[in-house]
């Protein structure tokens, strides 16, 4: 409310200044035309000048206060909107992250949307102030002569129309360029990023990437330059027309003064008012254009906030105690967005409590996708996944996910401390150093943690100063420690040994065997030797479970599993396979 009052006062001041300027000029004219010393005219002039100075000082003070308030509001708005975007993102279904449209929309809402939203509010206040001020000046000019008011309208309206259309064109250009801009930034990140640096140098692909980036950059830049040039051309023509109109207004004012309809003070004040109004109207038109453009951007944020969230049951059911029947999948079929083929097809299986399950198959067979469906990260288009006979979509996700711990192929390397990297596995125990070190020990990294001067508070990664860089194998052990830190009923390991040496791999499987005792374990692996001790092996091929059983049973079948096992064994033995 206080901000509205300030803007209202600022809006009224220009209209008051017309009368004050007229008063100053007329008082001075009276002094210069009167014979002798005219004390009353001098005093009157001092009063008008004092009032003029007071108005300017008041305007400066109010502008300072409004800017101070706007800065605070901008910070609050930025926090509020970015927090909403973050909260929304974590509520979206995981499948959303497999859709390019999501990244296009995220690019648009992440492109300074918090500043744009605050700018919309500020521009709204400014437009309200400017419109109020414009109406006040318009009414004042009508009081002088109706032709002045019409002239002001003819000067202002074309500027509004042109700037609104330019703002609209800029917005739709931004929409059309989103994908190309995102790709351009991705290519630039490859050229400047750490992860891609090795291959770029080995394969010598920097010139190619730079060429592709350059084409995309200049394609976008040329389109923007063309639109900017078009806008400048329109503005130049419009400003020429305005200057012609102002010339005509000045001639009309001279004619009115010559006829005695206007005083010198009125002439000066009206001329200044129209000139000032013309400049402020151009600023108002630009603000209106920016407001329109920013409002369209905010509309993208609104659409982002309206994206469909992860579906939650209206009356979620709770599971009490450990699983009694285990996990069951009934004819589940899953297809990724924008794909014409199902990655999983009519899969039915039963996983009993405490059962160690290995999922194997060729690349692209659907192994990781099946795991994500079984633990509720993906929802199949057809079929049902059930925990103890209860469909997983009817369970409270927060509760049943507390039963799960996992290390995926694309595990996170948090550029944070050891404490946070491991403690994220169970946040309510993150301050328990003994449990943190024990989890690190179980993954084989306990000794390294204890050797660090800062212990579990040692920062990791090279993104921030003082961070300790780890090898890929060490990062994987950190991820395993995070999984071990949560004493969960269901353990998921998706290619857990990909970056480990043979000795570390053997040690991991020994630890894994003890850690998963009496727990359901789901292990995705290409190394079939690690599957020999699994209670159940699921063999996937083209989205279907074509074989299932333990190692001995599958070897006796002589099917795909046996073929893959023999192929891997031949890498270690010469014409001899130990099964």
Q: What is the pLDDT of residues 532-543, one digit of tens each?
A: 888 999 999 999
Outline where DSSP puts E strands in 78-172: none
Please tell me the least confidently modeled range out of 346-355, 374-383, 390-399, 463-472.
463-472
**pLDDT tops 80 at residue 121:** no
Residue with tokens 């099917």: 559
How much is the average pLDDT of 182-199? 78
**pLDDT tops 60 at residue 186:** yes
Domain limits, the chain: 2-305, 411-487
pLDDT at position 321, please?
85
pLDDT at position 538, please?
94
Q: What is the pLDDT of residues 66-78, one digit of tens each?
A: 777 777 777 777 7
pLDDT at position 125, please?
66
**pLDDT tops 50 at residue 379:** yes
Q: Of all residues in the chain, what percent carry a pLDDT higher than 90?
A: 20
Tell how strand 327-334 and strand 344-351 pair up. Answer: antiparallel
pLDDT at position 216, please?
87
How much is the average pLDDT of 79-106? 80
Q: How far apart are CA 359 and CA 526, in angstroms?
A: 9
CATH number of this structure's domain 2-305: 1.20.1560.10
Cβ–Cβ under 8 Å, residues 311 and 391 = no
Handedness of CA 493, 499, 505, 507 (dihedral sign): negative
Q: What is the pLDDT of residues 319-353, one digit of tens each?
A: 888 899 999 999 999 998 878 889 999 999 999 99
pLDDT at position 575, please?
53
**pLDDT tops 80 at residue 296:** no
**pLDDT tops 70 at residue 132:** no
How much is the average pLDDT of 191-216? 79
Which of 276, 270, 275 lies closest to 26, judged by CA?
270
Which of 309, 307, 355, 308 lies closest to 328, judged by CA?
355
Which CATH class name applies to 411-487? alpha beta
pLDDT at position 435, please?
93
pLDDT at position 577, please?
45
Q: What is the pLDDT of residues 209-218, one digit of tens each?
A: 888 889 888 9
> pTM for this structure?
0.67
pLDDT at position 36, please?
47
Burial of 253 from C-beta contacts in 10 A (0-12 / 13-18 / 19+):
buried
């Amino acid at each position: 409310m206080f901000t509205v009052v300030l803007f209202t006062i600022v809006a009224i001041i220009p209209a008051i200044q017309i009368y004050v300027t007229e008063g100053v000029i007329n008082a001075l004219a009276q002094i210069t035309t009167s014979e002798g010393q005219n004390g009353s005219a001098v005093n009157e002039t001092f009063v008008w000048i004092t009032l003029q100075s007071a108005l300017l000082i008041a305007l400066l003070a109010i502008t300072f206060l409004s800017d101070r308030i706007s800065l605070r509001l901008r910070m609050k708005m930025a926090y509020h909107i970015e927090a909403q975007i973050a909260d929304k993102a974590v509520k979206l279904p995981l499948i959303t992250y497999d859709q390019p449209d999501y990244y296009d929309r995220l690019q648009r809402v992440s492109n300074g949307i918090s500043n744009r939203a605050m700018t919309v509010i500020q521009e709204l206040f400014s437009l309200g102030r400017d419109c109020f001020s414009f109406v006040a000046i318009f009414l004042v000019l009508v009081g002088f002569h109706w032709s002045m008011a019409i002239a002001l309208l003819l000067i202002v309206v074309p500027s509004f129309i042109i700037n609104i259309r330019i703002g609209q064109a800029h917005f739709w250009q931004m929409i059309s360029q989103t994908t190309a801009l995102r790709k351009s930034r991705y290519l630039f990140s490859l050229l400047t990023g750490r992860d891609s640096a090795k291959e770029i140098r080995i394969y010598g692909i920097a010139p190619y990437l730079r060429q592709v980036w350059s084409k995309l950059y200049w394609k976008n830049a040329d389109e923007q330059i063309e639109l900017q040039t078009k806008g400048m051309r329109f503005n130049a023509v419009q400003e020429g027309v305005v200057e012609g109109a102002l010339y005509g207004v000045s001639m009309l004012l001279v004619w009115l003064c010559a006829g005695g309809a206007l005083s010198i003070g009125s002439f000066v004040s009206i001329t200044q008012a129209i000139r000032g109004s013309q400049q402020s109207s151009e600023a108002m038109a630009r603000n209106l254009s920016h407001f329109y453009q920013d409002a369209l951007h905010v509309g993208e944020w609104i659409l982002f906030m309206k994206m469909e969230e992860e579906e939650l049951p209206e009356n979620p059911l709770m599971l009490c105690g450990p699983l009694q029947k285990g996990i069951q999948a009934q004819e589940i079929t899953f297809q990724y967005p924008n794909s014409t083929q199902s990655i999983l097809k009519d899969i039915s299986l039963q996983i009993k409590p405490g059962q160690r399950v290995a999922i194997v198959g060729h690349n692209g067979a659907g192994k990781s996708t099946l795991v994500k469906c079984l633990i509720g990260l993906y929802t199949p288009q057809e079929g049902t996944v059930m925990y103890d006979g209860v469909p997983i979509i009817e369970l409270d996700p927060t509760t049943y996910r507390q039963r799960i711990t996992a290390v995926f192929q694309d595990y996170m390397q948090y550029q944070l401390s050891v404490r946070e990297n491991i403690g994220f596995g169970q946040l309510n125990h993150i301050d328990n150093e003994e449990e943190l070190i024990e989890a690190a020990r179980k993954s084989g990294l306990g000794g390294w943690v204890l050797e660090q001067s800062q212990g579990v508070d040692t920062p990791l990664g090279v993104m921030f100063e003082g961070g300790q860089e780890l090898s890929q194998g060490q990062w994987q052990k950190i991820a395993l420690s995070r999984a071990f830190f949560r004493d969960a009923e269901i353990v998921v390991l998706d290619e857990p040994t990909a970056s480990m040496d043979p000795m570390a791999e053997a040690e991991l499987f020994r630890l894994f065997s003890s850690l998963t005792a009496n727990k359901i374990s789901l292990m995705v692996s290409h190394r079939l030797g690690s599957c020999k001790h699994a209670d159940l092996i699921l063999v996937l091929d083209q989205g279907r479970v074509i074989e299932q059983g333990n190692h001995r049973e599958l070897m006796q079948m002589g099917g795909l599993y046996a073929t893959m096992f023999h192929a891997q064994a031949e890498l270690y033995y010469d014409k001899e396979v130990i099964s």
